[in-house]
Amino acid sequence: MDGHMEMSKYYVMSNDTDAKEPVIALKSSSIPFTSELKNCPMCRKPLRDINRYGRIVRRAWIDEATKKFIVWANAQFVPLAARMGQVEARLRDSVSRTPAMNTPTSQPAELSSAFGRLSLEPLLVAGPRNEQINIICKAQHKNNRYRDISLLRTNISRFLRDVDEAEQPISRIHALVEDARKRRGVTTELTDIPSVLQVRNRFLATVLILRCDYAILCDFITHRGKGASGGTLHNFHLDLVVNREDCEKLVTESQSRHQPAQEVEGLLYWARFVALERGRSAKLSEVDMNALVDRARNQLQSARHICNAYRGQTAGMLEEVSEAEKMLRDATFYALVTNEEKAAVYAAMAQSLRGTGHWYHCVNGHPFTVGECGMPMQTARCPECGAAVGGNNHQPAAGVTLAADFEEFGR
């Protein structure tokens, strides 16, 4: 039975065949996603009630829970990304369909007076990002212009909380073990940090909510900032320092996780927020604003270098860098459109859930998917550990193995 349960994967075993107890010591850790729930080979009943194999069974339970979490998170993200493109398209269409002279002009004196009163009440969009969106939505409450995208933003925020490392199965178990040790007076800390924590969907959701905020701010400035006569309806100011700080956090973590695409996203949105704030800053002087714009140009140069160095992982993003540079140069705003490469990534994620792709493990056991035919055609980096994933010419990279168990969850 010990051989059937592969005890040597979890314990140091004695070479003495006559030893009464072959188990010598506990191995420091086990490789993630290498355990499976096994039954008795004779009666096919589960072995979870046998104390001798409790550690192995619990390890398998953790792996199964993590696999279900990964597939669930993937299934939740794909519709959110699709809805993002839809609500952006509706915002663009509503602007193009609104004639400049739709507003009644039969009482110009009253309109002029109204514009004057509004200009004397400057609107300040500042503070935490949630508060910024609330301010804008209140300013547009009469026509519910941002109702759909605000609801989507709420759903993305909820998803972001749900995929946080603290909410994942292994983290919850880790916290329970720590609590039990403290209650029993055990003072030594657990040094084996959970290695199956998933960050991929958190990265994707972080970028998606940055995109959502940019879409709202950009639309508000370009649409709400102009009246029927071309005059300014609202004398409003922006303070987007929190937005830039969040972008910097994304850039820093993406660097540590070897994720060039997410690093470029962080640099792009940093520069975009600077472009939005330019000429509308609530706190920065013209000199300080010019210095910030120069820094944004440097950020975009860094993004361009990353795109050139990692063309396979940043396909289509050089065009976004060029558009952001034009924003800073011409003070022209561009509503974001999902490029073809990103659309293909989202489509591949959706296909993998329908069984048209395949799941693999990197050399350290972290899962990833390959869409289309399910065979790797390019190399990337694992978001959890930075190891090589994917491959070339339908050949997996060194250490990459097929995750057959995940195939069942994805169907």
Q: What is the pLDDT of residues 51-109, one digit of tens each?
A: 666 666 777 777 778 778 888 888 899 899 989 989 988 888 876 555 443 434 334 44
Nearest C-alpha neighbor of 200 from the set 389, 35, 5:
389
pLDDT score, position 243: 97
Burial 84-100 (b: 16+ CB within 10 A, else e): bbebbeebbeeeeeeee
pLDDT score, position 93: 80
Average pLDDT score, the chain: 76
240 and 280 in contact (C-beta within 8 Å)?
no
pLDDT score, position 178: 80
Percent of the residues in the chain that have a pLDDT greater than 90, as a whole number: 29
Indicate the range of 48-52, 223-227, 287-291 predicted with least confidence.
Answer: 223-227
3-state percent breakdown (helix, strand, coil) of the chain, nearest 5: 55, 10, 35
pLDDT score, position 362: 78
Count of Cβ atoms closer than 10 Å to residue 240 Cβ: 25
pLDDT score, position 354: 47
Mean local confidence (pLDDT), 23-37: 59
Q: Per the structure block, which two tokens stand in for 151?
A: 């609801």
Q: Looking at per-residue confidence, does 33 or 380 come out higher?
A: 380
Q: Looking at per-residue confidence, does 384 or 175 come out higher?
A: 175
- Pair type for strands 401-402 and 358-361: antiparallel
CA–CA separation, 400 and 375 (whole Å): 12
Nearest C-alpha neighbor of 213 from the set 144, 135, 291, 283:
135
Residue 310 pLDDT greater than 80, yes or no: yes
Q: Looking at per-residue confidence, does 80 or 384 come out higher?
A: 80
- Conformational region of residue 291, where left means phi above 0, alpha means psi within -120 to 50, and beta covers everything else: alpha
Q: pTM score, two decimals?
A: 0.73
Q: Per the structure block, which two tokens stand in for 4?
A: 């059937």
Q: Looking at per-residue confidence, does 68 or 197 come out higher?
A: 68
Nearest C-alpha neighbor of 62 from the set 40, 27, 35, 28:
35
Residues in the chain: 411
211 and 84 in contact (C-beta within 8 Å)?
yes
Q: Looking at per-residue confidence, does 98 or 182 come out higher?
A: 182
Most confident of 43-47, 73-77, 203-207, 280-284: 203-207
pLDDT score, position 102: 40
Q: Per the structure block, which two tokens stand in for 159?
A: 């998803």
- Pair type for strands 236-238 and 123-125: parallel
> Which amino acid is residue 258, in one-letter code?
H
For residue 241, report the phi and psi dihedrals to the nearest 5 degrees.
-65, -35
Which helix (H) or strand (E) segment holds residue 390: the answer is strand 388-392
Count of Cβ atoms closer than 10 Å to residue 195 Cβ: 15
132 and 213 in contact (C-beta within 8 Å)?
yes
382 and 364 in contact (C-beta within 8 Å)?
yes
Residue 395 pLDDT greater than 70, yes or no: yes
Most confident of 43-47, 251-255, 353-357: 251-255
